[in-house]
Chain A
Amino acid sequence: MPYIISVILNILTSGLPCCLLALGIFITYRLLDFADLTAEGSFLIGGSFAIALIRLQVDPFLATLVATIGGALCGYLTSVFYTKLRIPKLLSGIITMTLTASIAMLILGMTKNGSIFTNNVTLSSSDYTIYSVFYYGDPMYRPLIKTGIMLGIVVLVFIVIYFFFGTEYGMAIRATGMNEEMGRAQGINTKRASIIALVVSNALIGLSGAMFCQDLRSCDIKVSSGFLVVGLASILIGESIFGKRSFKNRLISIGLGAIVYFIIITVAIELGFPTQLKNLLYAILIAIALSIPLIKLLISNAKKKKESKQYA
């Protein structure tokens, strides 16, 4: 297979699971206005559930489903901290994120005899993931099959989410996120709306973690570190490049944003950026993405100046 195609497939296999991650973060961060730090926790829970269950010979699709539910439970936990115990948003997320690290160790520990917890599990070559179940024919085409499956799942989830937020309840959640006071005045149970948004968001992130770790064929309790930034950067890059005119447009922007993000990372690394300094690259990217509106403003101001000079 030509080099360029394998690079593209590499970008897609890392980028597609992150589309779901970014979508999950979008629901809390943008729609609900809730900076939800649970994300890295539910990503880890998703990954560890999927890998541990597959190692225990559970059907990979069932394992992925359980991983998604695991993510949803993380979201529910955060929402309980926030709505029932009245812990501030940021701290509610941090508490869940912190406790997921221990839970992930316990879950991964189930796969090893004689120890209760472990940091790292790798699948053996006989274990089937949701991708390898479909590996037929020439091994050369495997990355292609994998990408196809990922794309299928991602597109399906995006369509479901689009329709969910177009329903009566979805609309209520969006209104709540934008203006909680208005939500209550319009008869929306705003607490329940935030709970459901958090659950849906973290379910998606759990699924994303499960897809990502099955691609790696391993799970480490450090696997999720840095992914909150990846998700945020995807949203910001997507919105600033592809716009945020309507809800449909925003969803497409986020999906494409995650892909663009990985294109940038891959190009930087191909050009010789040391992989050990990846986090530095992530930080620079997010700073640039956040300042794009300012850059756009400066450019348009400069244009106006030029024009006014011409007419003067």
Chain B
Amino acid sequence: MLELVNVTKTFNISGNKEDERTALDHINLQIEPGEFVTIIGGNGSGKSTTLNIVAGSLIPDSGKILLNGRDITKIPEYKRAAYFGRVFQDPMKGTAGDMSVLENMEVAFLRGRNHSPIKWGFKEKDKKFFIEELKRFDLGLEDRLNQKVGVMSGGQRQALTLLMATMRNKPTIKMMRRDYILFSGLPEEEARKEFDSFYDEKKLVLDEKLKTASSKEEKQRYKNEFEETIRNKFDLTKQILLLDEHTAALDPKTAKKVLELTDKIVRENQMTTLMVTHNMKDALTYGDRLIMFHLGHIILDVKGEEKKKLAVDDLLKMFEEADKKAESK
């Protein structure tokens, strides 16, 4: 579960008190695992700031961000990246234009891993997986694997970024241990002890089993089972997808395609998703919860049946009312 507790963020570029602009004013928000949340709001309402704070590109002035109960407020952006996939509004921002489709995917696949200075970056066995992924979501890029991303259209780049943001290599045991110690809100020593004792216990069982195993395949199966047990216990975080108006720069037809792709990927992987959009229709069509921001406050938070009943006109009305209220203050 992702939680924002009392998060406040103020921007002040010039340094003068009167130029201060409150982007988020004591925001409290809880997002359940697997929830697909759409976020709307006017300019400067705080919707993008929320995403940036969750991802770690911005640090809140006060308040906390909790991931499965773990405080991640102070963890730098690049370390959080293992858990958050991001797609930006600008199609140029999500991919490296001078690298090929495969290279870009490989970089994304290494997200959250230590980048080895010795191991060859591009692996043949990953290529197969990448091609399968490209085919699965029908991106039409299977034949353009070695093409530089820079020559592709905005829509294609955005679709690729989306795919890159949602795939990740399974974490190794070493990685899980590192991340558990880092992210588990528990005192470091305690987290380490918990992980190691569980690991040792299961390892003993594995060793016993390996002794009785007769064939190579059986041994491999036991090893896989062992890894799976560890993963089930410690890799609690399914990835969270952060979409920041990711279709705003595309033409309507392409935007629709990318949105449908988004929906498909999110549903298939059951990803927790935060999608900022300025298109109210999209916000109503997609997702199972809708949040509306206004001047740093959440003024609407609906899910399920209640959300289905809403129409664009209702949302517009709420916008206007909120504006009037703000003005009368």
Interface set of A (CB-CB < 8 Å, partner B): 163-164, 166-172, 174-175, 178-179, 181-190
Contacts and interface: CB of A to CB of B under 8 A. Distances in A.
Contacts of B104: 175
B110 A172 contact: yes
Interface residues of B, number: 38
A309 B81 CA distance: 56
- Counting chain A CB atoms within 10 Å of each CB, the highest count among B76, B92, B107 belongs to B107
Nearest to A196: B117
B94 to A, nearest CB: 6
Interface in B78-132: 78-79, 81-82, 84, 86, 88, 92-99, 103-104, 106-108, 110-113, 115-122
B55 interface: yes
Contact of B108 (A170, A186, A190): A186
Interface of B: 55, 57, 76-79, 81-82, 84, 86, 88, 92-99, 103-104, 106-108, 110-113, 115-122, 164-165
B49 to A, nearest CB: 16
Contact of B88 (A167, A170, A181, A189): A181
Contacts of A188: 78, 81, 107, 115
Given A168-B113, A187-B111, A189-B78, 18 more contacts: A164-B117, A167-B119, A167-B120, A168-B110, A168-B120, A169-B116, A170-B117, A171-B107, A172-B107, A178-B98, A178-B99, A182-B96, A184-B77, A185-B88, A186-B110, A187-B79, A188-B81, A190-B78
Given A168-B117, A171-B115, A178-B98, A184 B78 contact: yes
Given A182-B94, A187-B78, A167 B99 contact: no
Contact of A167 (B96, B112, B118): B118
13 contacts: A166-B120, A169-B117, A171-B122, A172-B107, A174-B96, A178-B98, A179-B96, A181-B88, A182-B96, A184-B78, A184-B81, A186-B81, A186-B164
Given A179-B96, A181-B88, A187-B79, A172 B115 contact: yes
Contacts of B106: 171
B108 A179 contact: no
Contacts of B165: 185
A168 B78 contact: no
Given A175-B99, A179-B95, A181-B88, A167 B121 contact: yes
Given A171-B107, A172-B107, A188-B78, A182 B95 contact: yes
Given A179-B95, A190-B78, A166 B57 contact: no
A181 B89 CA distance: 12
B115 A169 contact: yes
A186 B84 CA distance: 9
Contacts of B107: 171-172, 175, 186, 188
B120 A178 contact: no
A170 to B, nearest CB: 6
B99 A185 contact: no
A189 B77 CA distance: 9
Contacts of B77: 184-185
Contacts of A182: 93-96
Contacts of B121: 166-171
B97 A178 contact: yes
A169 B98 CA distance: 17
A164 B116 CA distance: 10
A181 B92 CA distance: 10
Nearest to A31: B98
Nearest to A170: B121
B165 to A, nearest CB: 8
Contacts of B110: 168, 171-172, 186-187
Contacts of A186: 81, 107-108, 110-111, 164
A187 B171 CA distance: 14
